[in-house]
A and B are shown apart, each in its own frame.
Chain A
Amino acid sequence: MAGQSDPQLSLFSCQEVEFLAEDELVQIIPNMKMEALHMICGDFGPFLPQIAVNVPLWLAVALKKRAKCVVSIPEWMSVEKLTQVLEAERESPREFQPLPFHYIEISRLIFDHARDDIPDVYMVRSLIEDIRDVRFHKVESGLETISGRTHAVKLKNLSAMEVNIVRPFVIRALQAFYKHDSPQIIPQPEASGSGSRRPQVADRGPRRDLRPR
């Protein structure tokens, strides 16, 4: 992507991931009247007082800063939902619960700019922190099982920020494992003679998923 701060590592900074998250839609309840906005990504509005409308998060934040709207908190950010998710995360040590792809960034933006619109803000905040910690611990224990046989890692329902955190580490680790497992380094018994290298590579065991599908 063009705006990456470190194209060499194909790495996003946290701020860049946050920027991407600002395109997610949230519902707001405006308190002013305004014509529809025609953007490249679509039309938003028209804005009428007390009529809910979906807008991108960046627009919601901009309107909120000018006190032109109330952000209605997404359904997944309610205390009940988050408690359920947290419990499910703790119960299944090998699976991730479905949450919005940008849940860390969205919650952070809403906490920063629209904290007065959230009922039980402290509760919600600590629940999200807990969920994040539990999930990250799972990622870590999953990564421990990587070995030379791992060709790809499948992590279902992982969120953008979580992927972004482990990306530099995982890329390097996988490269190192791949190098040490190459047939030139570890002579394989069937490699004797003039057998071509291709079949061996295909022969290196089944792909190991980190998580069941």
Chain B
Amino acid sequence: MARYYDLDDIITEDEGTSVIFQVGANGVGLLDPSSENNNVEKGSKVDLPFWLAHELYLRKAVTINFPACFNQKIRKEIQADAACVDLKIQCPYFYEFGCKIIPLTGDKTLGSFLQYAFTSRYKEALSKSHGAGTSPKFLNRLTIEETHLFEAARCSMINLKKWRLGGCRLEKAAILGRKRKSV
């Protein structure tokens, strides 16, 4: 709730999470496309947005399957060469979603894995963002948080270059440009 107005936080919570219903639920058939009547059977596997899965989990109505974007395959890839993994395609809010899912899955290694991934990918972003040209290919691999980081650094470099080259030093106030209305 602390980040109630944070758009990124809201979108993070929209991430699909696969859950297994522990109880039958009546009247919510639209959650499960395969249900024939309007109910979700006990034990059926359904994809829910994280915010809903979280609430149902707290009420012990569902158990949460471990999300695919943190599975062993991805972990191996990150360990091999973190900078080359396309995390955006896995989950645009990889880190934030990971942090949110930790208390629900009780996975003890996920936290250190996220930290490792961020630390090793951070260096790449650092050297690329302050340098000259960058390939769009590299940008496509970044998660949203990494993109913010990258853009923050690049903007300040661009501003510095602009300032150094000079140009018009006196800016005209917006109001001065307007023509006087004929009465």
Contacts and interface: CB of A to CB of B under 8 A. Distances in A.
Interface string B80-111: 00000000000000010001001100001001
Interface in A142-174: 143-144, 146-148, 161, 164-169, 172-173
Contact of B152 (A18, A172, A181, A186): A172
Task: Classify the interface of chain A: helix, strand, loop or mixed.
Answer: helix
B114 A185 contact: yes
A177 B160 CA distance: 26
Task: Classify the interface of chain B: helix, strand, loop or mixed.
Answer: helix
Contact of A181 (B115, B122, B156, B169): B115
A143 B115 CA distance: 17
A161 B157 CA distance: 11
B156 A166 contact: yes
A38 to B, nearest CB: 27
Interface in A104-156: 108, 112, 136, 140, 143-144, 146-148
Given A143-B126, A148-B115, A185 B156 contact: no
Given A108-B164, A173-B149, A185-B111, 16 more contacts: A14-B160, A14-B163, A112-B166, A136-B130, A144-B126, A146-B122, A148-B115, A164-B156, A165-B156, A166-B153, A169-B156, A176-B95, A177-B118, A177-B119, A179-B99, A186-B115
Which interface class (under 10, 10 to 19, 20 to 34, 35 or more) fits B?
20 to 34
Interface residues of A, number: 33
Interface of B: 95, 99, 102-103, 108, 111-112, 114-115, 118-119, 122-123, 126-127, 129-130, 145, 148-149, 152-153, 155-157, 159-160, 162-164, 166, 169
A64 to B, nearest CB: 14
Contacts of B126: 140, 143-144, 169, 173
A194 interface: no
